[in-house]
Structure 1
Amino acid sequence: MSADRLSAPDVLRGLAIAGTFATNIWVFADPRGPAAVFAGFDGGWWADTVLRTVANGKFLALLTLLFGIGMELQYRSAVRRGVRWPGRYLARAGILFVEGLLHYVLVFEFDVLMGYAIASVLVAWLVGRSAAVRVAAGSLAGAFVLLVVGALTLAGAPGGGVPAYPATWSGQVGERLTGMGLYRIELVLIVPSAVVLFLLGSALLRAGVFAGDAAGARLRRGLTAVGAVGVLLTVLTALGGPAWFAVERYLAAPLVAAGLLGLVPALLLRSRGRGGRVRHGVVAIGRTAMSCYVGQNVVAAVLFHAWGLGLAGTLATVAAPARTAVVVLVWVAVVAGSGIIASAWLRHHDRGPLEALTRRLLGRDRSPASPRATRSP
């Protein structure tokens, strides 16, 4: 494989982390707090709606597909080394759940790591099963998503008042603990949609989505065409108004994500290694994805919440165009800073700090195929 194809997953992952933050930053920037998501964003400029629509769910879906690709690679590694599967992966999922729970309680109401951990336990069992079993499981999960999205769409757009969001960090922690039923309700959709996209990511890797042959190129072109359909559906749902939010986030977004999965590797092959510092920074973010995901949300919390710099409250008094510009500039600064810090970190370490912590908690691999395990006593 060429260097461009080898770097494609890291580039995609870096774009997914940056794009996911492009969704999250609007939650932090709303002075009403995260509950405003359920009431609907208001008081903004038309450009705010466009920017939120571009980011909403698309990059999170891409990240979910890449998580499934990662699971497939770990499964292959276990089979190659003769290690029982899922085996230790279940411990990895448990650690991920705890990390997500801490992220939710201490930082951000809309954490996705908990949902990934739950879905990965099921998919870890499915990934080694027959194609018929995987398709059946994915179809059941997909049907459930369609049912819930349809019900939400028929129910209409959310509305109503938003309770005051605590100004102190401890108050916000208490709000997340007491409001877990509200803020974690999205897991009803995150988990089954993650099951579908994990399995799809695994299947696409098996089909050669990163392969350099003609079949791989055809697959990527097909995915790009699917992405074009997703873009059209996104435009239609955006024109339909807030009532179509769930369709956009859970049905259109995965189609766009599939398109990105096909388009980005093709563009990387055409770039012939060009991209310079920007590409290097995106790759670094991709290689430290979990650390950057959590770190970006921590920085945003400090910048926007009242117990930090209180930028959300300040922006509430600023005219819409200027407010939009500030939010975009903060996003650019945080993402650029993530790339710079991640690049510097990787000069001395082979993985991000949270990724290294997970590895340390799992301990060394004592599988029969590892050199340490096969060494004579």
Structure 2
Amino acid sequence: MQASTATANTGRIAALDLLRGVAILGTLASNIWIFTDPRGPAGVLTNLPSTDSIPGVVETVLRFTANGKFLALLTILFGIGMELQYRSALRHGRSWPGWYLWRTALLFVEGTLHYMLIFEFDVLMGYALVSFRVAYLLARTERAIRAWMWTVGTVSVLVLLSLTAVLVTAPDSTTPTAGGTELYTEGSWLDQVGQRLLQAPVYRLELLLIVPSGIVLFLLGARLLRAGAFENSRRGLLLRQRLMRIGLGVGVPCNLVVSFAGADWALVGRYLLPPVVAVGILGLVTETTMRMRRQVGPVRRALSEVGRAALSCYVLQNLLASILCYGWGFGLADQLAGARPWWVVGAWAGICAILVLFCRWWLRYFSRGPVELAWHWAYTAPQRARTADHENRPVRS
């Protein structure tokens, strides 16, 4: 296999750091609409902006631009990361999944804490569940992997289309919400934590959609890496061009139409079409990195640094948005409700700037982000304890 020229001197695939940075800031561009709605998650999910006014059209276009696509891209990248871990285990003669299952357990704990303390729509818990299943699939044959992708993917599509058909044909009704306006404008942080615990069955229903689609996207990421999507070769170029044609040429127009079709098509607009667009973004960013591999400007450097501390930035951006928007913080969601969507764009840009500056400063002194460092310490703790126990064991004569 021909090595990719997008690989940095450290052995990292440079395009992956850049893609992770794009995915993290893009995910914030989707979630920021949740934080900035005074009614909280229930408000943004049940009340789409009206297209009868310029602000409404602008908000619809902006939400379309980010909705689901970068989350799908992040999911694919998790699958690529797992494939790299699998290859590393094979190179070093380690059993698989072996210690990787401990990583999935830590990810689930991290996601659970993130959900309870910060954000109702955490994805890390779902990623942990997906990782546990996919870890065993990576060692299977390509035929078995394709069978899993087609089976799970087909079922997921049928479920999403069936639910959409029910929404389209059902009479209009008031959608039940999980928490009122006062919780996010006047409630304390502890009030919100308690609400997340009480409403966990409601908020965590999304896992029923995230886990099946995540299995498909994790496996897709692994297969793209195996197929040479990050190689500086003809087959890599042809694959990236194909991804761009499908994702940008087909996925974007279809997704745009659905975005203006109303709330009944929300599931298709968030879970079905965005992964198609995501593969186009992956192909475009990777190909651009290949062509400009010797030109590392400030934008690419900033995005790559965010990508190196992706988990830290994911948690930090949601914490910053909570402080900025909720009543227990600055309360700007309520105070600036009449300035949507313009102030929302400013909030997103401001948080992005903080993340970029933080990563620039932090990575001068550490090789990983703070969450990544804590995660790595916890991951290696049992191995260190096992080694220490072995070294301290008395030698029998």
TM-score range, shorter chain: over 0.9
1:97, 1:118 within 8 Å by CA — same for their partners in 2? yes
State the 1:272 CA deviation.
4.1
Instruction: State the distance in 2 between where 1:291 and 1:151 align.
Output: 37
Out of 321, 329, 352, the position equivalent to 2:369 is 352
1:68 aligns with 2:93: no
Instruction: State the distance in 2 between where 1:4 and 1:233 align.
Output: 34
1:145, 1:193 within 8 Å by CA — same for their partners in 2? yes
State the 1:330 CA deviation.
1.1
* Residue of structure 2 equivalent to 1:282: 303
Instruction: State the distance in 2 between where 1:366 and 1:178 align.
Output: 37
Secondary structure class of the residue paired with 1:108? coil
Structure 2, unpaired ranges of 5+? none
1:253 aligns with 2:274: yes
Out of 106, 129, 135, the position equivalent to 1:95 is 106
1:4, 1:273 within 8 Å by CA — same for their partners in 2? no
Structure 1, unpaired ranges of 5+? none
Identity of aligned residues (%): 47
Q: Which has the larger radius of gyration?
A: 2
State the 1:366 CA deviation.
5.8
1:339 aligns with 2:359: no
2:49, 2:57 within 8 Å by CA — same for their partners in 1? no
Instruction: State the distance in 1 between where 2:71 and 2:20 align.
Output: 10
Secondary structure class of the residue paired with 2:25? helix
- Two-structure CA RMSD over aligned residues (Å): 2.1
TM normalised by structure 2 equals: 0.88
Moved over 6 A (4+): none
2:48, 2:262 within 8 Å by CA — same for their partners in 1? no
Letter in 2 for 1:91: W
Instruction: State the distance in 2 between where 1:77 and 1:64 align.
Output: 20
* Residue of structure 1 equivalent to 2:121: 110
State the 1:239 CA deviation.
3.1
Instruction: State the distance in 2 between where 1:364 and 1:235 align.
Output: 47
* Residue of structure 1 equivalent to 2:209: 189
State the 1:237 CA deviation.
1.0
State the 1:266 CA deviation.
1.1
State the 1:340 CA deviation.
1.3
The 5-angstrom pairing of residues 129-168 of structure 1 reads 129-156=140-167, 159-160=174-175, 162=177, 163-165=179-181, 166=183, 167-168=187-188
1:209 aligns with 2:229: yes
1:39, 1:161 within 8 Å by CA — same for their partners in 2? no
2:105, 2:128 within 8 Å by CA — same for their partners in 1? yes
Secondary structure class of the residue paired with 1:186? helix
Letter in 1 for 2:218: F
State the 1:242 CA deviation.
1.8
Kindly tell me the number of residue pairs found equivalent between the two proteins. Answer: 367
1:7 aligns with 2:30: no
TM normalised by structure 1 equals: 0.93
Out of 286, 300, 307, the position equivalent to 1:265 is 286
Q: Deviations over 1:83-136 (max 9, x none)?
A: 010011111000000100000000000000000000000000001101121111
2:35, 2:326 within 8 Å by CA — same for their partners in 1? yes
Larger CA deviation: 141-150 vs 52-61: 141-150
* Residue of structure 1 equivalent to 2:200: 180
